[in-house]
Structure 1
Amino acid sequence: MEWQELVRDINGSTPPLFWYGGAAFDSKPIVALFNGSLPKNAQEFMSPDIFPVLTDYDLNILKAIKYIYENFNKEDFSFDSQSENWFTYQFSDIKILQMIPLTLFDYSTLVRIRKEYQNSHPSATSSVVPDDEWHFVFINTELNGKEFSFVYGLIENLTFWKEVIEVYALNIEAFCALRVGGKSGSWDHTHNPKKGKIFDSIRTSKLNKPRLWIADDCSELRNIWREINPHEDGFYGQMHFFEAIWNK
């Protein structure tokens, strides 16, 4: 009922999306999106009503999100003390106001997806969609007195593009993937213009493609696209903005 009320509020229309793939619990790009601290010339590529979607499929993230859902209304709730994983502190300053777990795939679709997509990391997850019912979670939050909302997808990035974005013809205006340089294969899988599976799936799609691409420092992208607001702040975890011109 809560979800249907939200859908009615937007008249059933889906806004353009800001997709942060492989996000863990890194809230910095989303906070920057809402507080206006992204570069102004990068924000020009995004609609005023752009809506963030984060995706990740680590079982520890799934477990943590379920824990938050069960406990965030308790007065003594403390999220950052409940896990030893590195990502737990990243939401510690954000107050959770509302959470709505959402199921998208029926059983037969889940069976097909799990059979078709085998590019999951066994050490992190059981499958590209690790839970039978918790596929997405709508989260309304408060930071420094200001409310903002986003959807967290408990789903692998390529699977999200192929089975959600393309199936429902959603409009991704901005794509963000950070801190992937330290994971074996993730950098090439995500950002490499020549062999990246996600990059190639987006490039060859008939849908509207992201106009803004956000990555750690990436020479491959700099060779094909114009970097917006270039800086030399280092490699790991830095946001570099590129104007995505897909005909080049």
Structure 2
Amino acid sequence: MNIRLSNLHLSYGQRHVLDGVSLGPLERGTVTGLLGPNGAGKSTLIKAIAGLKTPTSGEVIISDDDGHVSGAQLRDVVGYLPQDVLATASLTVLESVLTSARSRSKATVERAAHVLERVGIAHIAHRFISQLSGGQRQLVALAQMVVRDPQVLLLDEPTSALDLHNQIEVLRLVRRAVESGHRMAIVALHDLNLAACYCDRLVLLHEGGVHAEGSPSEVLTPDVLERVYGFRARVLSDDGIPVVRPVVTA
């Protein structure tokens, strides 16, 4: 499984959100982090890859060993976790997760229970969605995606409503999911240091285009951060992983 983006353009009316984005191949067994300021195009790019937004021009090419993946097959292999989670308030957590499963067999229910354990919400399996916090709903949505066992995980700011413990747990779960070798993940993040820890490759978007792409050490440099985010930073190294520290000025 791999993904290529070729000269992708996407507009909302007169506003150009994606402006000639080309990436790839993004390969199975890897986590790619999408970074960039608000409005840089991260969410739109993820929706385009998921098939939820149609590019004005250019191509999103998802391929497996048998060739190009599209249509119903695309829905089977791609899992999408949106930034804004919607859930049916009258369902329990377990029922909500089962709505995404392909069947209601005993094996599926057992798998759903296992996924809730992995995501860290087994203790609220029989609580109603209406009783959950925003962060807990985010974890339920993650479980809904994981229970389908997609090969491509697309996550739009999955840590935005979570405390630090759960942010780390979610990214560890994503990391473990791809290390089996047959999955890949693309994750939009704002936290530069978490992205450096858990992503193999970073893509930094700015004004609708790719400003920098490569390993965390190649992308997270003081010059790049000042140009894109407008702040001065020191970039240290911890066992080869870059650590971004803003320069504090009076």
Q: TM-score, normalised to structure 1's length? A: 0.37
1 or 2, which has the higher helix percentage?
2
Larger Rg over CA atoms:
2
| Larger proportion of strand | 2
